[in-house]
Amino acid sequence: MRRVSVLGATGSIGQNTLDLIARAPEAYQVVALTGGRNVAQLAEDAMKFRAELAVVADPALLPDLRDRLAGSGIAAAAGAEALEEAALRPADWVMSAIVGAAGLAPGLRALEQGATLALANKESMVCAGPLVLATAAAHGGRVLPVDSEHSAVFQALIGEDIACVERVILTASGGAFRDWPAEDLAHATPEQAATHPNWAMGQRITIDSASMFNKALEVIETKEFFDLRPDQIDVVVHPESLIHALVGFCDGALMAHMGAPDMRHAIGFALNHPGRAPLPVERLDLAKLAQLTFRPACETRWPALRLAREVMAAGGLAGAVFNAAKERALDAFIARQIGFLQMAEVVEQVLDRATGEPGLLQAGITLDNVRQADHFARRSADEIMTPT
């Protein structure tokens, strides 16, 4: 039996992970499950999977979690430290599916205890890619990408020499507004942005798909994960979301990874790695699909893509600043404090401030320095967004 933990179990990726685990209950011992605020779902799953420990992020919800788990023998805990302790519990495989920079520290803890980390939390690579990979190397752990594009690249690279890779092309669906006239974007609402044409995902990543901040994060994640130069990474809009990424080699060959837009594919690949096992995902009927289409990913329409290039050129802690500024701008957009197009403006201004702050971006990539850069970015974003 493999010991597995799911961080962010109550979310979209977490629930898809539990769906796969539930299909082969004899193969897994569930160690820890964590959730942000959805105590009912967390308690239900902890009992269904006979977890050893359930942790809720919000300490105010601990009494509720304890009540629900009373008599079950499942330990209950709450708060940021408890999340890290959950990740430290010995396990063979840990799913990192907390959303946002909050997922970084628990993921590092899982690597410190030598687990294989299935990384859906792209923010970890954006904020602290070198630290994540060094932690894995130091403790004999492994990081497996779960973002569909990165799982696709990883699969296309099996058996290949990374030195022969010329370029990686990430596909983007274009999100909710891909067919909207540019002049309408200023008035887009959070509800409109949170409807994805192809994928069923959490609210935040769905809005990030509409603004292309998700793809911007993924470009940086690609650079960190596969140690590529920024100029080797391209983005193309592919509205069907059937090709997830392509790898171009020095002989001109282009390897594309295709599949139905179902995250259980990438999650299942990481769960079964280094082997493959049948997965309950739709099989594509190419003749029925008839065609695949592609469009350029315009950096004027989607300034987040241009900002990602600037972040990669700056290096250091620019990724941590970029991500934190984006998280605050997204909070403000969801709360209707700023408009859809202002998100990129706020992030750009925060990056400018961070560049002018002596030593901030150049500090070493440690957890403490990432946290400092993160706080600076959130504080700056709040100042910029405060009406004067």
Which H, E and C letters describe 227-278, residue by residue?
A: CCCHHHEEEEECCCCCEEEEEEECCCCEEEEECCCCCHHHHHHHHHCCCCCC
Please identify which residue in 31, 36, 77, 219 interacts with ligand NAD, judged by CB under 6 A. 36
Q: Which is nearer to ligand NAD, 206 or 380 (CB)?
A: 206
**3-class secondary structure for 319-387?**
HHHHHHHHHHHHHHHHCCCCCCCHHHHHHHHHHHHHHCCCCCCCCCCCHHHHHHHHHHHHHHHHHHHCC
The residues, any chain, with a CB within 8 Å of residue 274's CB and separated by 6 or more, are none
In whole angstroms, how close is the CB of 39 to Mg ion at the nearest point?
28
37 is in an annotated binding site: yes
147 interacts with Mg ion by CB under 5 A:
yes
Q: Is 208 in the site for Mg ion (CB under 5 A)?
A: no
Which is nearer to Mg ion, 307 or 317 (by Cβ)?
307
Question: Closest separation between CB of residue 69 and Mg ion, Å?
Answer: 33
Q: Say if residue 299 carries a ligand binding annotation.
A: no
Out of Mg ion, ligand NAD, none, which partner does residue 141 contact, by CB within 5 to 8 A per kind?
none
Tell me how far, at minimum, the Cβ of 232 lies from ligand NAD, in Å.
Answer: 22
Residues 6+ apart with CB under 8 A from 346: 325, 328, 329, 332, 338, 381, 384, 385
Determine the Cα–Cα distance for residues 174 and 237; give it in Å rounded to an integer: 6
Tokens 């190397």 found at:
137
Which member of 111, 201, 267, 384 binds ligand NAD (CB under 6 A)? Answer: 201
Binding site for Mg ion (CB under 5 A): 147-149
Binding-site residue set for Mn(2+): 147, 149, 218
Binding-site residue set: 10-13, 36-38, 121-123, 147-149, 173, 196, 202, 209, 214-215, 218
Binding site for ligand NAD (CB under 6 A): 8-14, 35-38, 57, 83, 97-99, 102, 120-123, 147, 199, 201-202, 204-205, 263
